Chain A
């Protein structure tokens, strides 16, 4: 009994409990009637990131308006949200059973997949064992690295964790994190998803436990792995999904940045989830998935400033979807509305933070004229230098294990693997977003007021993690055969 109580209050994993359950219930409530393949993987991949992001929102608004009661208010508000979602789920479940109780087969029930071949079963067993070994290797690496440096890299120490400390140490003076006296390096316009999630855990534990920021980053990293497995497996087979997941887990670039405890892995999750959910929403023509996609897009904006760029790119993609011949008039009418509904709350919070506390950013309001920007944008030598660096970073096997080579191959050979199947429609969304995100960062480097060489050196490899998983999904979507599951056919 004592050990159980100790787990719920003081274990490093205990602060995950309420966000995890709340995230799970929110996703479950929104997708209760949607017959997705490998739904448990889908739910598990979204639960913790969505829950942690929600807890950071609850924490921020509690601190903003409830002063000394903020810490308790954040936990109570999450518990209330959890209770409301749980009640809604019970109600939906009751309604469903009442409605279908005379039917032996619910229409929500996914139809059974075709019987797996013997080769498929053998491959699933082999790849599952391989995946578990990769996971073991990864945990050995990450625990070794976090023991060596539990406070992470520069931004983790002096930006994200510092902001979390302001939250934890004072409900009265937490706004001093935006003080102009330290703003030149603490970057007061940075959004607060990661500091809020870290502060949530530290408040829950009652102390600044060293391992907690690592647990937060690990939760996002493993959620990306699950999302990759779900996305690939849901249109192909489980072993294809596990192989894609193993490829992600073993990629050095992602391993490096999860150990650095930066906000790039969480941002990478929300970018990937937004795109995957949007594609699934269009394929299954479901508005609630569009809402979840919008929510994840909003969370990307609440995680890092790069999320603002991504919101523009995915907004553009939503507009392009309106021209799709596979969506009917009602879908085209409601998709953007649902997407915006999901997007609104986290995006408003990010805007509120910038408006009230942000101050001038490093790119805008720097006193440079339109001519200065135009000169930077058309500087041939600069463009060549940035392009060469993009190529060099992407070609690095030590960082990417040939991910970008596979991506280009998938683009080139895509026509060979095309099939007339609903499961391949909208793959262009992945490609478009990969290219737009790259183009956005290219543009940023062109106008950066910081020394270009230093800026590329310290940020390019982690910026590429933002769209790296989208590229991975596209590769496996191209090179995996489509399972003839009823949900995958037209």
Chain B
């Protein structure tokens, strides 16, 4: 019995030691040491903040409460736009971005001026500030 135990333990510990010694997680070679240093020292230099591309508009938006988020298609249809919405919500919180049109004020992100015009007519909003011809702040028509 003792011998069987011993054989079993030798197999177990050899297997465990082999697995541990052969495991080496894959690294992304493109990551620079400087960027890692910026991260761990807390300077955060070189790291873009998701959603920060709308910084010029942020200053014109309310700091809290709720506004509507409107884009080319209804929310949930375009996965890339949906992801951008989540990043924007992170960037603008505690301001709430409602995914449904209906709030008095809205943040509009359209791909083209034509698309903007069609969608705004559909949901009954109009531009307050039109930045870059397809992005900006909108208001619900009376």
Contacts and interface: CB of A to CB of B under 8 A. Distances in A.
| Pair from one complex | yes
Interface string B14-43: 011101110111111001100110011110
Interface stretch (A26-34, A163-171, A367-375, A462-470): A163-171
A358 B8 CA distance: 51
Contacts, number: 123
Contacts of B86: 157-158, 185
Contacts of B74: none
B78 to A, nearest CB: 15
Contact of A169 (B8, B15, B17, B94): B94
B4 interface: yes
Contacts of B24: 137
B40 A143 contact: yes
B121 to A, nearest CB: 24
A209 B44 contact: yes
Contacts of B39: 143, 146-147, 150, 210-211
Contacts of B25: 137-138, 141, 252, 255
B12 A166 contact: no
Q: A150, A169, A211: which has the most chain B beta carbons within 10 Å?
A: A211
Contact of B44 (A138, A210, A401, A417): A210
Interface string A155-193: 001100110011001101110110101100100000000
A246 B20 contact: yes
Contacts of B20: 130, 134, 243, 246-247, 250
A182 B5 contact: no
Contacts of A409: 12
B96 A144 contact: no
Give the size category of A's interface with B. Answer: 35 or more
Interface on chain A toward B: helix, strand, loop, or mixed SS?
helix
Interface residues of B, number: 43
B70 interface: no
A416 B47 contact: no
A413 B8 contact: yes
A402 B15 contact: yes
A140 interface: yes
Contacts of A148: 28, 31
Interface of A: 10-12, 130, 134, 137-138, 140-141, 143-148, 150-151, 157-158, 161-162, 165-166, 169-170, 172-174, 176-177, 179, 181-182, 185, 205, 209-211, 243, 246-247, 250, 252, 255, 401-402, 406, 409, 413, 416-417, 479
Given A161-B90, A210-B44, A416-B1, 9 more contacts: A12-B40, A140-B27, A141-B27, A151-B50, A158-B89, A174-B94, A181-B100, A210-B47, A211-B42
